[in-house]
C-alpha cells in the first residue's frame, strides 16, 4: 500500500518552563530538592484507512518535584526519595517513592514504588540497561525516546495506546516502565561490569489487557573505555507470572522478555546505538480456544550528535506485537524520529522533533487497520 503524507504543520511553544535544584546540609543530614517542568506543543497529520485529515495543534505540561532527604556518612547513605508529579496537567500525584540505602563498595538498595531498573546517574537520565542513546529532548518526565510516550500522547487514544504497547520492543525488556512496589539492588561497578536486579510482588497490568503478578528483572552492563570513547554492551531480562481471568475466558501466560544491545560513544559527542527485544512464546493474553500464544520482537537503531550548544539525533524502530486478546491477529509498527535541541545557556533549552509512524493492526474485529501519520513537537525547558 502506497503511503502519502498529506501535510505537516508545526506548533511553536510560547510558554516558559522551569526547573530547579537546591541542596541543603546540616552536618550528616542533607536534603536535595529538584524540580522540572516541560511544556510541549505539537501538531499532527494522519491517514487512517482511506481517510486523510488534519488535527489542530495541541500542548501539554509535565512537571514534578523530587525530594531526597538522607543521612550521609563517609561510607553510607540512607534516606527517602519522594516524587510529586503532574503528567499532562493532571492533578498532582505521587510518582517514585522509595527508601534508599547505599554504600560505595557494596552498591545501592531501594525499597518502594520505583520504575524498572534504575540508571546509574540521577534517576532522570536514560536507563543504561536499554542501550539506546538518543541524547536530545527533555531528560525528565515523558520524553522523545522510542518508549518515552511524549510522541504518542498527541495521537488519538486508540492509536496512541496501540503504539505505546509496542514501543518498548527494541528499546527495553517488557515492564521496564512498571511502577509497582519493588525491591531494587544495583551493584558497584567492578572491572567494567555492573549488575542490577529488581523484584515486584505485583506488576502493573500491561497494554492489551494482560495481567501479571510477581515479576523480576535483571540487567548487566559492561563498559570499555578507550581514550575519549566508550563501548557499552549488555542486556536485560524480565519474568512476570501471568494471572488469568477464566470468568472472561482469558488466559495470561507467564512473560519472558529479553533485551540486548550496544552503544558506542565517540569523543563524548557521537552516540550510536543498536538494540533488540524478544518476548518469549509463553507470554501474552489469549482466549481459551486460541491454539497459539503471542510472540513479539522489535529492534531500534539510534544515532545522536552533541557538540557545543547543539544536540541532534534520531531513531528508527521496527516492532511486531503478538496476538491480541482474542488470539486472532497481530500488530506491526514502523517509526522514525529526527529531533534536536539548542541550549541557550545552562538555564534554557529549546527542543523539537518530527515523529513519523505506520501501524498495521490486524488484531481481530477491533483492528485499526493501517494507520500512518506524522507528529511535530516543539518545546522549551529552563533551569533556574
What is Dmax (Cα atoms) for the chain? 67
Instruction: Give me the DSSP letters along 176-196.
Output: TT--SEEEEEEPPPBTTEEEE
**Distance from C-alpha of 364 to C-alpha of 286, rounded to nearest angstrom:** 12
Pairwise CA distance, residues 68 & 62, whole Å = 20
What is d(CA 139, CA 33) in angstroms, rounded to the nearest whole number? Answer: 17
What is the set of domains in the chain, with CATH numbers? 20-382 (2.40.160.10)
244-287 residue pLDDT tens: 666 655 666 788 889 888 888 899 888 888 889 998 755 555 54
Q: How many C-beta atoms lie closer than 10 Å to residue 298's C-beta?
A: 26
For residue range 184-228, what is the model confidence (pLDDT) as tens digits?
Answer: 999 998 998 888 899 999 887 665 556 788 999 998 888 899 999
pLDDT tens profile 129-184:
555 555 566 666 788 888 888 888 898 888 888 898 888 898 888 888 888 899 99
DSSP secondary structure string, 216-241?
EEEEEEEEEEETTEEEEEEEEEEEEE
Residue with cell 559527542: 269
Share of the chain above pLDDT 70, in %: 74
Q: What are the DSSP E strand ranges found in the chain?
A: 20-26, 29-48, 51-72, 76-87, 93-103, 107-113, 181-186, 193-200, 212-226, 229-242, 250-253, 255-266, 270-279, 284-287, 296-307, 310-321, 331-345, 348-361, 369-382
Question: What's the whole-number average pLDDT of the chain?
Answer: 78
Distance CA 331, CA 334 (A): 10
Q: If DSSP codes are grouped into helix, strand and coil, which group holds residue 364?
A: helix
Residues 219 and 129 sit within 8 Å (Cβ to Cβ): yes
The DSSP call for residue 362 is -
Which residue, among 234, 250, 159, has the nearest Cα to 193 in the 3D structure?
234
Number of neighbours of residue 267 by Cβ within 10 angstroms: 10
Write down the pLDDT at residue 157.
83
- Count CB atoms within 10 A of the CB of residue 368: 17
Amino acid at each position: 500500500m502506497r503511503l502519502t503524507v498529506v501535510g505537516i504543520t508545526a506548533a511553536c511553544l510560547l510558554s516558559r518552563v522551569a526547573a530547579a535544584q537546591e541542596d541543603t546540609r546540616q552536618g550528616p543530614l542533607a536534603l536535595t530538592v529538584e524540580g522540572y517542568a516541560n511544556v510541549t506543543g505539537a501538531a499532527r497529520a494522519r491517514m487512517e484507512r482511506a481517510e486523510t485529515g488534519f488535527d489542530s495543534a495541541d500542548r501539554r505540561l509535565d512537571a514534578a518535584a523530587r525530594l531526597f532527604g538522607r543521612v550521609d556518612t563517609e561510607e553510607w547513605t540512607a534516606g527517602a526519595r519522594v516524587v510529586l508529579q503532574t503528567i499532562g496537567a493532571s492533578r498532582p500525584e505521587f510518582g517514585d517513592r522509595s527508601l534508599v540505602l547505599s554504600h560505595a563498595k557494596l552498591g545501592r538498595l531501594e525499597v518502594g514504588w520505583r520504575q524498572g531498573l534504575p540508571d546509574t546517574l540521577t534517576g532522570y537520565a536514560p536507563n543504561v540497561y536499554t542501550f539506546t542513546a538518543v541524547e536530545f529532548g527533555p531528560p525528565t518526565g515523558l520524553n522523545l525516546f522510542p518508549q518515552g510516550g511524549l510522541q504518542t500522547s498527541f495521537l488519538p487514544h486508540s492509536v496512541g495506546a496501540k503504539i505505546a504497547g509496542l514501543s518498548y520492543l527494541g528499546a527495553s525488556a517488557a515492564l521496564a516502565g512498571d511502577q509497582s512496589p519493588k525491591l531494587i539492588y544495583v551493584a558497584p561497578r567492578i572491572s567494567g561490569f555492573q549488575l542490577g536486579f529488581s523484584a515486584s510482588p505485583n506488576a502493573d497490568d500491561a497494554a492489551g489487557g494482560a495481567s501479571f503478578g510477581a515479576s523480576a528483572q535483571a540487567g548487566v552492563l559492561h563498559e570499555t573505555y578507550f581514550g575519549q570513547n566508550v563501548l557499552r554492551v549488555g542486556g536485560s531480562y524480565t519474568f512476570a507470572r501471568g494471572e488469568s481471568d477464566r470468568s472472561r475466558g482469558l488466559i495470561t501466560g507467564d512473560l519472558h522478555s529479553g533485551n540486548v544491545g550496544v552503544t558506542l560513544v565517540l569523543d563524548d559527542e557521537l552516540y550510536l546505538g543498536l538494540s533488540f527485544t524478544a518476548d518469549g512464546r509463553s507470554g501474552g493474553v489469549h482466549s481459551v480456544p486460541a491454539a497459539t500464544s503471542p510472540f513479539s520482537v522489535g529492534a531500534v537503531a539510534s544515532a545522536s550528535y552533541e557538540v557545543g550548544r547543539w544536540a541532534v539525533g534520531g531513531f528508527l524502530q521496527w516492532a511486531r506485537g503478538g496476538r491480541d486478546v482474542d488470539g486472532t491477529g497481530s500488530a506491526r509498527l514502523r517509526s522514525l524520529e529526527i529531533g534536536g535541541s539548542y541550549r541557550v545557556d545552562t538555564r534554557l533549552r529549546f527542543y523539537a522533533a518530527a515523529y513519523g509512524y505506520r501501524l498495521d493492526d490486524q488484531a481481530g474485529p477491533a483492528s485499526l487497520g493501517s494507520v500512518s501519520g506524522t507528529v511535530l513537537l516543539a518545546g522549551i525547558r529552563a533551569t533556574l
